[in-house]
Amino acid sequence: MTQSFKGPTPSRRQFLSGAAAAGAGAVAASASGAATPDPKITELQPWATGFGEGVDATPYGMPIEFEDHVIRRNVEWLTADTISSINFTPIHALDGTITPQGCAFERHHSGAIELRKEDYRLMINGLVDRPLVFSYWDLERLPREQHVYFCECAANSGMEWAGAQLNGAQFTHGMIHNMEYTGVPLRTLLQEAGLEAAGDLEDKWIYVEGHDASSNGRSIPMSKAMDDVLVAFKANGEALRKEHGYPVRLVVPGWEGNMWVKWLRRVEVTDAAVESREETSKYTDVLEDGTARKWTWEMDAKSVITSPSPQAPIQHGPGPLVITGLAWSGHGAITRVDVSKDGGKTWETARLAQPGDPKAVARFYLDTTWEGEELLLQSRAIDETGYVQPTKAQLREVRGLNSIYHNNAIQTWHVKTNGEAENVEVS
Amino acid sequence: GAGAVYGLGREALPQEIAAWDVDIMPDGSGLPEGSGSVRDGEMLFSQNCAVCHGEFAEGVGNWPPLAGGDGTLADEDPVKTIGSYWPYLSTVWDYVHRSMPYGAAQTLSDDEVYAITAYILYSNFLVESDFVLSDENFTEVEMPNADGFIVDDRPETEYVKWRTEPCMENCKDEVEITMRATILDVTPEDEAEAET
């Protein structure tokens, strides 16, 4: 990661062209009275007289072309290549809580592999009574559960530790997706293999790894494995996408995305943590004195305003304004989100679109009026444990600047009088 | 024990477990018999690794350095390498064996992995040039940052502080902007816009 990269002139142009295109129509439509009749109403439009597409045109559809900005984006300078890399969910353009799979972020360490169900095997071994091999279809014969959970990369917002760097919620907070999973509790598979051999489960671990070359091996305490970990094969109603672990991935509710092992191939019961590369060199968090935290599994309560934001400026002029965003916590359900328009001097409690679900994303709205003044927008999540999302200053006071992972600080957007928004830090 | 409620899956054979269960624990358990020297490792590293990691494991471009950075962990910009940061040698052997070289993983023999691991130790000034690493002396190697890690202490250092009713009114006297993302100017531009 470097801060010295100097890219081409970024979002300002994008903002200006976008604003110009949307501006005229939007303003005209919202005016209290029209001087001349609107030809979109008075003239016959082609779609109102001719045909649209037949039902055989698109057996599996993509979004309409006018939404072609709602896509995953890569930040080239973050990593050495695109194979062990990250891209970002366009959260600035989405609403509700479910992430469309086609634009849900990806993080691979040796690329998105293609693995047929016919070639899929899942091994359970180690301190079990009978080491087992399951086929994909064996998994479909076991009792299933369904849950909605967020998967947030441990490094989400990691580039923002030292200061405001990337200009858009997609880039600062988009290493996250939230899906409805169907799968088999890992507990069921472990019990099928038998855990008598493991003895006291209190001090036991599992080690999980993927079919891909990176393997992404991670150690998980047995208590979590027996609690809510899912071996999932469906997301948002359909099979997992290739890039999200097709045909089978691990779902580890509330815990850092790295542990959600994709293309899951093996679960080993062990009497200690393996201390693999992904839990020593990576996914350990350096503190100010040079020591590092390990096993920082939970993702703490966090939120971000997705609109207005740098990629979603206010284009409609003064008047009614919907401030909206996302909140989530690895410790349980979101119970409240507060929003500030003045950089944290005063706060008002926003409205949750639905009651928060445990370890899932919640959508919040603050319906307000904008008079065209400058805003310093912030959101602050509170979860069912009473944990209040901290400021970046609070986090830095405990951790310093080099933790890389687990940045759940309050984000500030500076909205200017023309409606343009910028990623800033405030005192 | 109980188990086998559904009778699904079939017993894994020893050869299958041996093929996939290759993880190495910090105490060295899981290591296969074998050995490799710094000298052999230097040649193997040059052939298989140096194009990305440099002849001296110092890293090329944006690719990870594997050596150097001693004593920098509390600096403004820590350099985290195998020598300066990694707690266990087992992780080096395990990760190289299963996931390197990048793009051609699992192509190194056990002895080659011992030799490359020995060379990485040498590059970090942790062994002499005549050192030979084997399954027998493996656990004698001490990594400099073995004691550098603490188990997640957020419950004590953070949660107790931040589980309190937050301020709603008059929370600060003044608010000033202290940093702006557009000054750095590193956000990717919309590609379609860039082309026009």
Per-residue model confidence (pLDDT) at position A372: 98
Is residue B16 within 8 A of residue B115, CB to CB? The reply is no
Cα of A44 to nearest chain B Cα, Å: 32
Q: Which CATH architecture has domain A76-293?
A: Alpha-Beta Complex (3.90)
pLDDT digits (tens, 9 = 90+) for A210-264: 999 999 999 999 999 999 999 999 999 999 999 999 999 999 999 999 999 999 9
Asked if A191's CB is within 8 angstroms of B2's CB, the reply is yes
Identify the bridge partners of residue A205 per DSSP, sorted by sequence position. A221, A270
Is residue A63 within 8 A of residue A70, CB to CB? The reply is yes
Among all chains, which residue has been given the structure tokens 């649209």?
A: A52
pLDDT digits (tens, 9 = 90+) for A80-102: 889 999 999 999 999 999 999 99
Per-residue model confidence (pLDDT) at position B190: 62
pLDDT digits (tens, 9 = 90+) for A300-325: 999 999 999 999 999 999 999 999 99
**Alpha-carbon span A80 to A282, nearest angstrom:** 16
| Domain ranges (residues) in chain A | 1-54, 76-293, 302-424
Q: What does the mean pLDDT of chain A come to?
A: 93
Kindly identify which residue of chain A lies nearest to residue B64, measuring between CA atoms: A80
Is A302-424 assigned to CATH 2.60.40.650? yes
What percentage of chain A reaches a pLDDT higher than 90? 90
What percentage of chain A reaches a pLDDT higher than 70? 93
A76-293 against A302-424: fold identical = no
Q: Is A323 helix (H, G, I), strand (E, B) or coil?
A: strand
The amino acid at A4: S
Tell me, yes or no, if B19 comes closer than 8 A to chain A by beta carbon: no
Per-residue model confidence (pLDDT) at position A34: 85
Q: What is the mean pLDDT of residues A363-380?
A: 98
The amino acid at A94: L
Asked if B185's CB is within 8 angstroms of A275's CB, the reply is no
Q: Determine whether A178 is exposed, middle or buried from the number of CB atoms within 10 Å of its CB (0-12, 13-18, 19+).
A: buried
pTM of the model: 0.94
* Chain B interface disruption, residue of A345, A348, A379, A385, most B CBs within 10 A: A345
Q: What is the ipTM of this complex?
A: 0.94
